[in-house]
């Protein structure tokens, strides 16, 4: 078996995907890594070995013979790196969210459309067993026709993950309703079977903006300061000097198929998990937990009071690997797609529409909370991706 030759751009917080991608003798191997930071380059050698070619210049990476590339750079650099990879003709995996503006997301799709190079967006939650269990139940008609979806996202790690580095700067992320919310919005869209056309949101910087202890943490990475002892939220230290994003936000969405959806996100909760509720014409689904301990409950008989005991417990398959086993399945699918094409569970159009909803929601919450229309994608580009990134 000939291994697919994979390059990586950016060896930082999502470099864990490199270990998943590097499977010499099993169909794929990482042969090159590009990172402008010396620590990233050293980490690549430590993880992947001395045989990997490590460069600091993106141009040098594109000169290497590659079958595919993983773009794992910070969000605001995604468009620049993805477009150049696509224009170089290298099948491209792009970490989510795919961009921080609708314009950049559309530019990425346009580049893939123009060049015919395969594009894959790393929305790994579509591979999470708890999400696929809910999706399968919906597809099987277990709750009838979906009419409403909402998600409550509790982020106990917010103070460490997002408010001490570049994530806290809206010029690099737009905001958490996009940076963090794009993943959940994509799942909401997937479970509901439609895309947001109108969003209204509210939000605020309720806790972390009041912390006076600040530090430029560009010389460190999240795992250098992360600790569960960083509690309560008001006791956090060494926050980012630039901190102009919201730490709590709530968005209401109207989808193109009439489904109503709601997304609520808080970065100063004591626990960390997502709770999705899906209500159809014949029942309700809800997950409790979203990792290896997750369960999905189904209620489809009527009562006149709260019932903790569901009518049915839907099993969540066991899986190994990051994000509840999703990361290995994500990379498996990308490599297969990069080499052979075909259908994928993830979708560049869906990824763009989650960005568009997140951007529109952020605009709403920063301009008084009124409804904002989500701009549509160009029909020709939409048709290209609907055809599986092939031209008829």
Q: What is the pLDDT of residues 289-337, one digit of tens each?
A: 988 789 999 999 999 999 999 999 998 988 777 777 789 999 999 999 9
Q: How far is CA 189 from CA 13, 150, 381, in A?
A: 26, 10, 19
Burial 374-383 (b: 16+ CB within 10 A, else e): beebeeebee
pLDDT of 362: 98
Contact 35, 47 (CB under 8 A): no
Task: Give the dihedral sign, CA 331/335/338/344.
Answer: negative
Residue 233: which pLDDT band, with cuts at 50, 70 and 90?
A: very high
Residues 119 and 82: their CA atoms lie apart, in Å, by: 9
- Helix orientation angle between 348-365 and 102-115, rounded to the nearest 10 degrees: 160
For the cut 90, the answer to whether the pLDDT of residue 12 exceeds it is: no
For position 344, what pLDDT does the model report? Answer: 97
Q: Which pair of structure tokens corresponds to residue 267?
A: 């970065």
Asked whether the bond before 232 is cis by omega within 30 degrees of 0, the reply is: yes
Place of tokens 């963090």: 180
Does 392 have pLDDT greater than 80? no
Helix (H, G, I), strand (E, B) or coil at 71: strand
Identify the CA nearest to 245 among candidates 333, 361, 83.
Answer: 361
Q: What is the mean pLDDT of residues 160-188?
A: 97
Residue 323's pLDDT is what?
72
Residue 63's pLDDT is what?
96
Judge whether 229 lies within some domain.
yes
pLDDT digits (tens, 9 = 90+) for 352-367: 999 999 999 999 999 9
On the question of pLDDT at 368 being above 90, the answer is yes
- Per the CB < 8 A criterion, the answer to whether 284 and 277 are in contact is yes
Q: Is residue 245 one of the residues assigned to a domain?
A: yes
pLDDT at 259 over 80: yes
Among 357, 339, 352, CA closest to 386: 352
CA distances to 49, 109, 168 from 119, in Å: 28, 8, 28
Q: How many residues does the chain have?
A: 392
Give pLDDT tens digits for 63-98: 999 999 999 999 999 999 999 999 999 999 999 999
Residue 166 covered by a domain: yes
CA atoms within 13 A on the CB side of 80: 9
Q: Band of the pLDDT at 41, cuts 50, 70, 90?
A: very high
Both structure tokens of 161 = 């993950």
Give the chain's domain count: 1
Tell me the C-alpha distance between 224 and 230, whole Å.
Answer: 13
pLDDT value of residue 102? 98
Number of neighbouring beta carbons within 10 Å of residue 65? 9
Preceding amide of 378 cis, omega within 30: no
Euclidean distance between CA atoms 321 and 59, whole angstroms:
32
Query: What pLDDT digit, counting tens, does each position of 237-249 carry?
Result: 999 999 999 999 9
Whether the per-residue pLDDT at 278 is higher than 70: the answer is: yes
Specify if 61 maps to a domain.
Answer: no
Site of tokens 């989510």: 96
* Whole-number Å distance between alpha carbons of 24 and 75: 29
State whether residue 94 is helix, strand or coil: strand
- C-alpha separations of 353 from 1, 47, 73, 80, 358 in Å: 37, 35, 21, 19, 8
Strand partners, 201: 251
* pLDDT of the residue at 227: 94
Task: Establish if 32 belongs to a structural domain.
Answer: no
Instruction: Tell me which of 107-121, 322-336, 340-354, 356-370 is least confident.
Output: 322-336
Q: For residue 90, what are the CA distances in angstroms to 14, 65, 119, 124, 380?
A: 20, 9, 9, 21, 22
User: pTM for this structure?
Assistant: 0.96
Q: What is the CATH number of the domain that holds 147?
A: 3.30.360.10
CB distance 160 to 222 below 8 Å: yes
The token duo for 146 is 């979906």
Residue 134's alpha-carbon distances to 125, 160, 277, 296, 314, in angstroms, are: 12, 30, 10, 7, 8
Chain mean pLDDT for the chain = 95
Q: Let me know if residue 91 belongs to a domain.
A: no
CB 59 within 8 A of CB 34: no
CA distance 288 to 364: 30
State the pLDDT at residue 385. 97
Q: Is residue 342 part of a domain?
A: no
Residue 199 in domain: yes
Domain residues for the domain of 256 are 126-325
Predicted local distance difference test score (pLDDT) of residue 1: 66
Extract the tokens encoding 244: 């102009």
Helix 129-139 with 181-192: angle, nearest 10 deg: 20
């Amino acid at each position: 078996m000939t291994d697919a030759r994979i390059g990586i751009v950016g060896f930082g917080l999502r470099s864990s995907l490199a270990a998943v991608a590097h499977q010499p003798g099993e169909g794929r191997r990482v042969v090159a890594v590009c990172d402008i930071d010396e620590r990233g380059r050293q980490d690549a050698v430590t993880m992947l070995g001395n045989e990997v070619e490590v460069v600091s210049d993106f141009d040098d990476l594109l000169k290497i013979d590659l079958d595919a590339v993983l773009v794992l750079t910070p969000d605001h650099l995604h468009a620049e790196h993805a477009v150049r990879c696509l224009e170089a003709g290298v099948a491209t995996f792009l970490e989510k969210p795919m961009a921080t503006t609708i314009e950049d997301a559309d530019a990425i799709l346009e580049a893939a459309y123009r060049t015919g190079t395969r594009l894959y967006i790393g929305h790994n939650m579509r591979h999470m067993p708890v999400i696929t269990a809910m999706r399968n139940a919906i597809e099987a008609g277990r709750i009838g026709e979906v009419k409403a979806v909402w998600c409550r996202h509790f982020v106990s790690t917010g103070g460490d993950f997002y408010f001490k580095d570049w994530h806290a700067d809206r010029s690099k992320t737009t905001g958490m309703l996009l940076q963090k919310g794009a993943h959940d919005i994509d799942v909401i869209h997937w479970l509901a079977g439609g895309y947001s056309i109108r969003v209204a949101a509210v939000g605020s910087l309720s806790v972390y903006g009041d912390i006076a202890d600040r530090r430029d943490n560009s010389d460190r990475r999240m795992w250098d300061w992360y600790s569960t002892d960083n509690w309560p939220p008001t006791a956090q230290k060494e926050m980012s000097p630039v901190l102009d994003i919201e730490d709590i936000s709530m968005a209401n969405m109207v989808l193109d198929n009439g489904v109503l959806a709601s997304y609520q996100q808080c970065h100063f909760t004591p626990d960390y998990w997502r709770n999705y509720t899906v209500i159809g014409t014949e029942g309700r689904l809800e997950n409790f937990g979203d990792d290896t301990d997750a369960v999905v409950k189904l209620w489809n008989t009527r009562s006149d009071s709260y019932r903790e005991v569901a009518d049915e417990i839907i099993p969540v398959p066991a899986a190994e690997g990051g994000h509840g086993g999703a990361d290995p399945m994500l990379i498996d699918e990308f490599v297969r797609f990069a080499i052979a094409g075909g259908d994928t569970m993830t979708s560049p159009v869906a990824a763009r529409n989650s960005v568009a909803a997140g951007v529109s929601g952020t605009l709403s919450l920063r301009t008084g909370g009124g409804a904002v229309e989500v701009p549509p994608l160009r029909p020709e580009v939409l048709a290209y991706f609907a055809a599986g990134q092939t031209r008829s």
